[in-house]
Structure 1
Amino acid sequence: MNIPFLDNWLKRREPGPVTSPLAEALDRDPVGVGELLAECELLRARADRSGVALDDTPRSLQELDQLPPRWRDDPEELPWVGNDAGLYLGTVIVRNVPGARWHVWPDSGPVVRLASGREIQVVEAGLDWAMTGSPELSQVYAEASEH
């Protein structure tokens, strides 16, 4: 029996690299994607209301660590603040640690890859920080800057 769509479905494709649109964009325009990841609009608005200037420096991470975690009172906002905190942490690392750069895995999203090859799951760290306060963002930065 000849069923064209089934024939196509059964044909094996040559294995190739799996990429995501974000990974492809990062390859084409690393500066532009870095700027996009650095937006962190919700976190920046929260920090601004609390008098903390997010200037992409390690000191700003210390100041974020000192903010009262009022976002924990809103279960809908919590993951967004955590995601932004992770992206902001990654931005600070990429902009201040020599050789650090963004890398995107198709199945797990953006990470920061250090010059040593070590990868930091910054979004995961940001979510943990937003939910529990640990690890502190400044601590993650300090560990990244040592490698």
Structure 2
Amino acid sequence: MNIPFLDNWRKRHDVDPSPLGAAFDRDPEGVGELLAECELLRARVQDAGVTLDDTPGSLSALDQLPPSWRDDPEELPWIGNDAGLYLGTVIVRNVPSASWQVWPGGQPVVRLASGREINVVEAGLDWAVTGSPELSQVYGEAAEF
């Protein structure tokens, strides 16, 4: 919702419009742990016999799952969001110097040592909806930088 007078008030009072961004500034490791939870995704894939252990191999296992979440239009965006956050978690925990960053609007992204930023939530949503790009492919590209 665009409320012009609220934007002006925030500017005058130095209020961060993104609670996630403010929390990240105070406790980046805590926010990283929060982003790694991905409860819905973990529950759904556990039902399919896949354990998410924060390794690149688990991304390949996710890529091989039948996309049953596409049958539920209400769950689809949540699975996609969680898949993106899980992808980011795997990158941050396995690619040297990769770290979480939060864009001013509150969007979590992963920044690589090269300075490249990956919008992992967008990648997760694309994967959940179309199956492409595969999560393991995004990870592989991030690991090359």
Question: TM-score of the superposition, structure 1-length normalised?
Answer: 0.87
- Aligned pairs (5 A) from 1:14-53: 20-53=18-51
Residues in 1 aligned to 2:129 and 2:15: alpha-carbon distance in whole angstroms: 34
Distance 1:74 1:93, change over 3 A: same
* 2:61 alignment partner AA: E
SS class of match (1:56): coil
Identical counterparts, % of pairs: 76
Instruction: Assess if the C-alpha contact under 8 Å between 1:85 and 1:126 holds in 2.
Output: yes
* 2:86 alignment partner AA: Y
Find the counterpart in structure 2 of residue 109 from structure 1.
107
Residue 138, structure 1, aligned to residue 136, structure 2: yes
- Aligned pairs (5 A) from 1:6-21: 20-21=18-19
* 1:66 alignment partner AA: Q
Q: What's the offset of the Cα at 1:28?
A: 1.5
Find the counterpart in structure 1 of residue 5 from structure 2.
none
Residues in 1 aligned to 2:95 and 2:139: alpha-carbon distance in whole angstroms: 9
Which stretch of structure 1 is more off in the superposition, 45-54 or 23-32? 23-32
Find the counterpart in structure 1 of residue 52 from structure 2.
54
SS class of match (2:50): coil
List, as ranges, runs of 4+ consecutive aligned residues in structure 1 with deviation greater than 3 Å.
Answer: 16-19
Once the two structures are superposed, residues 25-66 of structure 1 have per-residue CA deviations (whole angstroms, 9 ceiling, x without a partner) of 112211111110000001000110011010000000000000
* 2:46 alignment partner AA: D
Which stretch of structure 1 is more off in the superposition, 127-136 or 106-115? 106-115
Find the counterpart in structure 2 of residue 78 from structure 1.
76
* 2:125 alignment partner AA: L
Find the counterpart in structure 2 of residue 127 from structure 1.
125
Once the two structures are superposed, residues 51-84 of structure 1 have per-residue CA deviations (whole angstroms, 9 ceiling, x without a partner) of 1010000000000000000000000000000000
Q: Is the radius of gyration larger for structure 1 or structure 2?
A: 1
Residues in 2 aligned to 1:19 and 1:138: alpha-carbon distance in whole angstroms: 33
How many pairs align?
136
Residues in 2 aligned to 1:54 and 1:107: alpha-carbon distance in whole angstroms: 29
